[in-house]
Each structure stands twice: as C-alpha cells, then as structure tokens.
C-alpha cells in the first residue's frame, strides 16, 4: 500500500495584535487535511503560542512522501508446475512433480507438503518459510521424509496449531539418480557428472519461488537431513549462505567419499563439510546432532562442531540413548522443529 501524502500546512507570519493573531491561528489550524490541534496552531505561528512580530512572509511547506516499504513476501512467479497428489496424510496431501532444472539440466522427483495454514483464507497474503528435507541412503527415486517412517508433516501441523513451531512448506527432493552407491552424487557438482549441487541449491529454490508464496530473502529458508541427508544439509548451507539461513544435520558425516571423486581431489575438498566448517565464510546457524548410544558418532560430530568458525554458529545436541536408526531420527522431529522455529522467520505478510 502506497503511503498517503503528508498534509500540507500554510505558515504565515503577520504583524498583528494579540486578538487578530489568535483568530488567524484558529483559521490556519483548520486548513490542513489532517485536522486541527493546539500543536497545529502553534506551528502556524512559527512556534509561538502568543503574538508574533515581523513582516508577513507566507511560504508553502515542501510536501514529501515516504518511499513504499519493501515487501516481506514473494508471490509465485510461475510457471506453475504439474503437481499431483502422491499420498494423503492426516495433515493434508503430499504432492509430487518432476523438476527439470534450467541451470543444472538435472531432472528429478520432488515431493511437496503445504501446511494447513497455506490454504487458509486468513493467510492468503502470507509468505511461508521453506524447509527442504534430505533423506538417508541413496534417495534415488524416494525420500523417507514422505512416508510414515518420518511423519514430520503431521508433527509440524500439530506443533504449529499449538504455537510451538512455524508452519513450514516442506520440500523433499531425491538426492541421486541411480540407486548404486558407486554413483553417489553427494549433493555436489562432481566433474563429468550431473550437476546435483546446482539442482539442489538453485533449481529447487527457483521451483519453490515459482509455485508458492514464500518469505522474501534467506531468513525463511532452512535445510535438514539425517545421515547422508545430514551431509547434504550441512554442505549446501555452508556453500550457499545467501540461500539458506539455518541447517540441521542429524547424525551426519562430513567427508565426501563417492568413487566418482576419483581424480578430482581438489573439487572433493571444496565440497567437504569438514573443510567448509572451518573457513569462517558462512553466516549460517546450525544444530548438529548425534545419537548418545553411538560413541563413534558422538566423537565425530563433536569434533566437527569444534572446528566451526564465526560467523557460522553450530550448536550440538546429543540424543540420550539415540542410535543411528530411522526410529530415533523420528524422535528428534519435535526438537528440530522447535530449533528451526527459533532460528528462521515465520509466516510474513505486508498487511
């Protein structure tokens, strides 16, 4: 909404007696479009409550307008994707489409869940935060955040209804194009291979902005994943702090080890969270977790957290008795959603 012009006021100084001065002040106070007040009368007399002396030199005050406030949301830019229902949940349907990236050339499946608030008329002019979720394993043709193993959609809907979490748009892409671990792309642009890193960091956000109302800027964008997905979420956030504000790597590892890196060690290190965490280049907030029942994992994660350099901040959380199992990742969902809510922007509107 454009701001209304400020009221114009005519200021006059005249050599008048006290009675004439008060009459003139009353008349001038009623001239502005903003109504009259004692302050208006005082301003009309050059700041004096009583009479004024000097020659009559009327002048018009300069009008000015405030520039429009920057929008806090982005409306969908299009073109609209062909989103089809993949399955129903107690918190609404999970949709699926195939995204072919204009920047990467990669084509892969992406699942989407919209919180109930997204289609609520009360939120029709709101942009929503975005949480991209990465799975464990190869995640070629599937994403475990879309099924009952990790029912984050139902948990988020319940927590948002209770005011404990933001209602997030959830984006769940595949991470590989082949189920063989020998062809793991590690969410990276490995030389000579499909540009999966570009697809994830640029094409997927472009797809989201094209189709959904989102929070403007990076403050409403986060990534989270478990195991292999933890590697991806940490790496992508560290490489692209202009896109992502926060990340939650759950029980992760930090060194790229795909056979496809052979002969490309320099590029491998440039995509290593173990290197990126200590470079001090990413203004990103992270929560790194480890299962308390796994001594090797807790040591691995703690050592990685200790390498973090500002402006990066990494908090450590150890799940009591936690193991490297999907069942324990599920138990982590409320904790991670609470943390993400504290470290990202919620739904925004310009109203």
**Contact between 74 and 209 (Cβ < 8 Å):** yes
Helix or strand (DSSP H, E) at 315: strand 313-319
Q: What is the mean pLDDT of residues 301-306?
A: 98
Say whether both 52 and 133 belong to one domain.
no
Say whether both 168 and 276 belong to one domain.
yes
Residue at 218 is within a domain: yes
Say whether both 130 and 241 belong to one domain.
yes
Which residues on adjacent β-strands are paired with residue 31?
none
pLDDT at 64 over 90: no
Residue at 67 is within a domain: no
**Contact between 85 and 94 (Cβ < 8 Å):** yes
Say whether both 236 and 113 belong to one domain.
yes
What residues make up the domain containing 340?
A: 74-349
Say whether both 260 and 214 belong to one domain.
yes
Q: What is the mean pLDDT of residues 75-86?
A: 96
Total tally of structural domains belonging to the chain: 2
Which residues fall within 8 angstroms of residue 161, CB to CB, at 6 or more apart?
A: none
Residue at 66 is within a domain: no
Residue predicted with more confidence, 47 or 182: 182
Residue at 5 is within a domain: no
Residue at 28 is within a domain: yes
Say whether both 125 and 267 belong to one domain.
yes
Q: What is the mean pLDDT of residues 48-77?
A: 59
The CATH number given to whatever domain includes residue 336 is 3.40.50.1820
Residue at 181 is within a domain: yes
Say whether both 81 and 154 belong to one domain.
yes
Say whether both 84 and 19 belong to one domain.
no
- Take residue 168 and report the two structure tokens written for it: 């997030």
Say whether both 81 and 107 belong to one domain.
yes
Which residues on adjacent β-strands are paired with residue 96?
84, 111
Q: Three-class SS of residue 133?
A: strand
235-279: pLDDT as tens digits: 999 999 999 999 999 999 999 999 999 999 999 999 999 999 999
CA distance linking residue 299 with residue 320, whole number of Å: 15
Helix or strand (DSSP H, E) at 85: strand 84-87
Say whether both 80 and 167 belong to one domain.
yes
Residue at 68 is within a domain: no
Residue predicted with more confidence, 169 or 6: 169
Which residues on adjacent β-strands are paired with residue 94?
87, 113
Which residues on adjacent β-strands are paired with residue 223?
132, 247
Residue 68 banded pLDDT, cuts 50, 70, 90? low
Burial profile 324-347: b = 16 or more Cβ within 10 angstroms, e = fewer: bbeebbbebbbebbebbbebbbbb
Say whether both 124 and 240 belong to one domain.
yes
Helix or strand (DSSP H, E) at 153: helix 152-161
Residue at 256 is within a domain: yes
pLDDT at 10 over 70: no
User: Count of CB atoms within 10 A of residue 243's CB?
Assistant: 18
Say whether both 300 and 202 belong to one domain.
yes
What global pTM score does this model have? 0.81
Q: What is the pLDDT of residue 351?
A: 76
């Amino acid at each position: 909404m454009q701001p209304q012009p400020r009221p114009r006021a005519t200021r006059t100084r005249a050599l008048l007696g006290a009675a004439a001065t008060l009459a003139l002040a009353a008349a001038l106070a009623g001239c502005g479009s903003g109504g009259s007040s004692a302050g208006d009368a005082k301003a009309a007399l050059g700041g004096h409550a009583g009479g004024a002396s000097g020659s009559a030199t009327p002048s018009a005050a300069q009008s000015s307008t405030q520039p429009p406030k920057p929008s806090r949301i982005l409306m969908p830019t299009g073109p609209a994707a062909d989103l089809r229902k993949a399955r129903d949940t107690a918190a609404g349907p999970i949709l699926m489409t195939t995204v072919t990236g204009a920047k990467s050339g990669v084509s892969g499946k992406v699942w989407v869940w919209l919180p109930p608030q997204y289609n609520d008329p009360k939120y029709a002019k709101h942009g929503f935060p975005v949480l991209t979720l990465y799975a464990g394993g190869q995640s070629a043709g599937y994403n475990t955040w879309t099924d009952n193993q990790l029912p984050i959609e139902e948990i988020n809907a319940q927590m948002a209804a209770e005011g404990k979490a933001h209602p997030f748009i959830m984006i769940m892409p595949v991470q590989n194009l082949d189920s063989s671990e020998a062809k793991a792309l590690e969410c990276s642009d490995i030389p000579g291979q499909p540009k999966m890193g570009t697809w994830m960091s640029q094409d997927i956000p472009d797809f989201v902005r094209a189709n959904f109302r989102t929070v403007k800027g990076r403050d409403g964008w986060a990534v989270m994943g478990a195991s292999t997905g933890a590697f991806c979420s940490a790496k992508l956030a560290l490489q692209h702090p202009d896109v992502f504000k926060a990340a939650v790597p759950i029980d992760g590892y930090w060194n790229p080890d795909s056979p496809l890196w052979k002969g490309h060690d320099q590029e491998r290190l440039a995509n290593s969270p173990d290197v990126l965490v200590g470079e001090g280049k990413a203004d990103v907030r992270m929560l790194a977790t480890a299962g308390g029942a796994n001594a090797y994992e807790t040591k691995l994660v703690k050592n990685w957290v200790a390498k973090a350099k500002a402006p990066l901040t990494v908090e450590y959380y150890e799940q009591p008795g936690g193991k490297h199992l999907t069942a324990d990742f599920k138990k982590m969902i409320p904790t991670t959603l609470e943390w993400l809510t504290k470290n990202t922007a919620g739904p925004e509107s310009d109203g």
